[in-house]
Structure 1
């Protein structure tokens, strides 16, 4: 929390300084821009160098962890199936609702142009491939070359096939490979941690450059982004309550009443893990067998991030809208798949780190610029509140539904 507010403060300070210099001495702003912006771009380049290894590591660890969890018994298998369906629904909701919100509450053309210019200018659209080119491009002739050339879609296809093949080999061999890719992912997270330790410097420089290029309109653009993302967060919360009512069979009044202590903890900590004890009490109040809750809720905290696909896809869709990148149905389907895999990867991290590790692979897979993430991470503090609220609601609702559907398996072992 302190780190997130520190990064946000650095962004505001950089933008205020940039606006002040541009107002008082425009010539000084023009002279200083190349030097200060280079610092920010260098930091951003260091942040993006981890994307390809992360895509591979997250996909493999997410798929294998989900498969291993499903083998733990009927209750665990049912829980994993519920998690998959739920995150698919939230991701699909985001792909439908985010463009609607952008049409309903558009950013002014001047503010959008200023923000786009400040975040890197326009992006040249790649020529649309033919159907034959698209299909042939799904299978990489050389996966290593695909990684080197950042052709993400064939790399994702190969990695997914590889991960599912891992689930069919001998347990000891699967464990060795899983540890290798888990170590790769952990190593990349260490690198990202080092880079994000310098985030206040990098974000300050990027904020300064944004203000010099875009002026006061940059504040309005970032506020618009925060409101759109927060709107998707509210939709996730409402969807969780709706699913608890329509699918789980718990009336909204009863569900919200049971969730009040958990929501209070989630709001104050912005951590699903810290909310686990409160979630156990809320699930017991909803009539869940405590022995079953002890199995499903920790599994949910590790694997299930109800809001992640929706919120992460909303970030990518917003950037695509801002930079006028037309997303095809195929690209959105690929993005949804990557978002689901990222949501299932069992990594409990601070918001600033998970923002990059989860969203950058999605953006690359959909052909959307990654550079704006370096600034948008600074304002993630506010949407992150709704992420946590939606996650704990989804965790408890999924636990209730999973426990009600499995009888006489309190230990989680297969009968």
Structure 2
């Protein structure tokens, strides 16, 4: 009797047909950008209701834009806490954790040094025209100043949540309380809890399981918020057009143009060169990180989009979560090539030239030193103004020069933030590749973290 052979039934193939172009993040954000410009110019055309009172369209754009940034920021704390605790508790899965941390800091410094060299070069090349037509009327001392000891004073948490409240106002006008948090303190607390869970062992298993479950829930909520990105983009761009327009570019146009050229050189030359030297596709990298680049540009908040940066780094670039959950939050406080390297270098040259101060080789070396070390020294408070005041005080330049650039701050901040978040995703990718823990299949595949429905 002949034996009957039964062939296994093939598993049904998954429908991999491309999604319609209008469901993709890039297209939706471009539409939001165009809509924001249209709404912004429409709000300008309507004009204010009265002196100091915006019209209804301006109010809507302002409220929607602020609400979207707040939604992104509110997930920073739960994402960092749950991701770091669960990752540290599973450190046995990651070899050479200390070596990873050291390499991360080294590559933070390398990319910051390259970026500050670009900023200095851009300032020297454009120096004949950099301050043309700039008036000293806007010169003003900054409200705060960067300090070299900020890292030490901001490292120790004042409470278990790393939260603080800033109260402003007086008895006549009323008091306003503004809550804030230090990501560096939250990172420190989370690492401590994760290490404690690792040491406790089996008894801490429910705690670790809860952290992992909470992380999955936070990631799902994050996706819902990111899905609103086109609306947030339209509101934020519209508000920028209304509040700042382009009139301030009249006297500072050369500075703004020079800064954007320098940012593009880092973005299109320095970063691609580093990727190529490590055998990684430049096109695929930017395709993978586009969601966070576009959001960083419109929100102007590295911290606000930090949850997106972490998701992109892990799910699109193939960096292990155990490492990404440490490197990305650290980068959000200490890795800002736009705000802490390119901008302070160019701005220092601009201010020195305006006040007639001749810079020499020692000054340029100090600018580079502040860019590489200063962002780490001021971790937790790092920002463009903090780094600029730290640079100016180190060089002995007038701090009143900060006021000269405030008119174009929102315009240049969009480009700076886009570069910041790109670098914050780049370094973990490079370190993971060097250590042999980068998942190349994930890196080279279709990005899994996007605004397409899943």
Q: TM-score range by the shorter chain?
A: 0.5 to 0.7
Q: Is the 8 A contact 2:341 2:371 kept in 1?
A: no
Q: Could you tell me which residue of structure 2 aligns to residue 98 of structure 1?
A: 115
- The 1:226/1:53 distance shift into structure 2, 3 A limit, reads farther
Q: Could you tell me which residue of structure 2 aligns to residue 60 of structure 1?
A: 85
Q: Could you tell me which residue of structure 2 aligns to residue 213 of structure 1?
A: 243
CA distance in 2 between partners of 1:26 and 1:320 (Å): 33
Shift of 1:7: 1.6
Q: Could you tell me which residue of structure 1 aligns to residue 67 of structure 2?
A: 42
CA distance in 1 between partners of 2:322 and 2:30 (Å): 29
Q: Could you tell me which residue of structure 2 aligns to residue 399 of structure 1?
A: 436
Deviations, residues 225-284 of structure 1 (Å, cap 9, x unaligned): 596166156434434555x5xxxxxxxxxxx5xx6xx6666566669xxxxxxxxxxxxx
Q: Which runs of 5+ in 1 are unaligned?
A: 71-76, 114-121, 245-255, 272-297, 337-363, 402-415
Q: Could you tell me which residue of structure 2 aligns to residue 116 of structure 1?
A: none
Q: Could you tell me which residue of structure 1 aligns to residue 358 of structure 2?
A: none
Q: 1:157 aligns with which of 185, 188, 191?
A: 188
Larger Rg: 2
Shift of 1:223: 10
- The 1:180/1:103 distance shift into structure 2, 3 A limit, reads farther
Q: Is the 8 A contact 1:16 1:208 kept in 2?
A: yes
Q: Which runs of 5+ in 2 are unaligned?
A: 1-22, 136-140, 166-178, 291-316, 349-366, 386-408, 439-454
Deviations, residues 315-340 of structure 1 (Å, cap 9, x unaligned): 5537985999x98988722777xxxx
Shift of 1:398: 3.5
Q: Structure 2 matches for 1:240-259, cutoff 5 A?
A: none
Q: Could you tell me which residue of structure 2 aligns to residue 166 of structure 1?
A: 197
Deviations, residues 281-324 of structure 1 (Å, cap 9, x unaligned): xxxxxxxxxxxxxxxxx985555669964995325537985999
Q: Is the 8 A contact 1:237 1:389 kept in 2?
A: no
CA distance in 2 between partners of 1:142 and 1:165 (Å): 18
- The 1:233/1:209 distance shift into structure 2, 3 A limit, reads same
Q: TM-score, normalised by structure 1?
A: 0.54
Q: Could you tell me which residue of structure 1 aligns to residue 208 of structure 2?
A: 178
2:331 aligned with 1:314, yes or no?
A: no
Shift of 1:109: 7.4
Q: Could you tell me which residue of structure 2 aligns to residue 11 of structure 1?
A: 33
Q: Could you tell me which residue of structure 1 aligns to residue 382 of structure 2?
A: 366
How many residues are aligned here?
308
Q: 1:204 aligns with which of 218, 231, 234?
A: 234
Higher helix share: 1
Shift of 1:207: 0.5
Shift of 1:204: 0.6
Q: Is the 8 A contact 2:340 2:371 kept in 1?
A: no
Q: Is the 8 A contact 1:37 1:206 kept in 2?
A: yes
Q: TM-score, normalised by structure 2?
A: 0.50
Report the 3-state secondary structure (helix = DSSP H, G, I; strand = E; otherwise coil) of the residue aligned with 2:144.
coil
2:171 aligned with 1:146, yes or no?
A: no
- The 1:102/1:213 distance shift into structure 2, 3 A limit, reads farther
Shift of 1:54: 2.9
Q: Could you tell me which residue of structure 2 aligns to residue 69 of structure 1?
A: 93
CA distance in 1 between partners of 2:69 and 2:151 (Å): 30
Report the 3-state secondary structure (helix = DSSP H, G, I; strand = E; otherwise coil) of the residue aligned with 1:143.
coil
Q: Is the 8 A contact 1:14 1:208 kept in 2?
A: yes
Shift of 1:208: 0.8
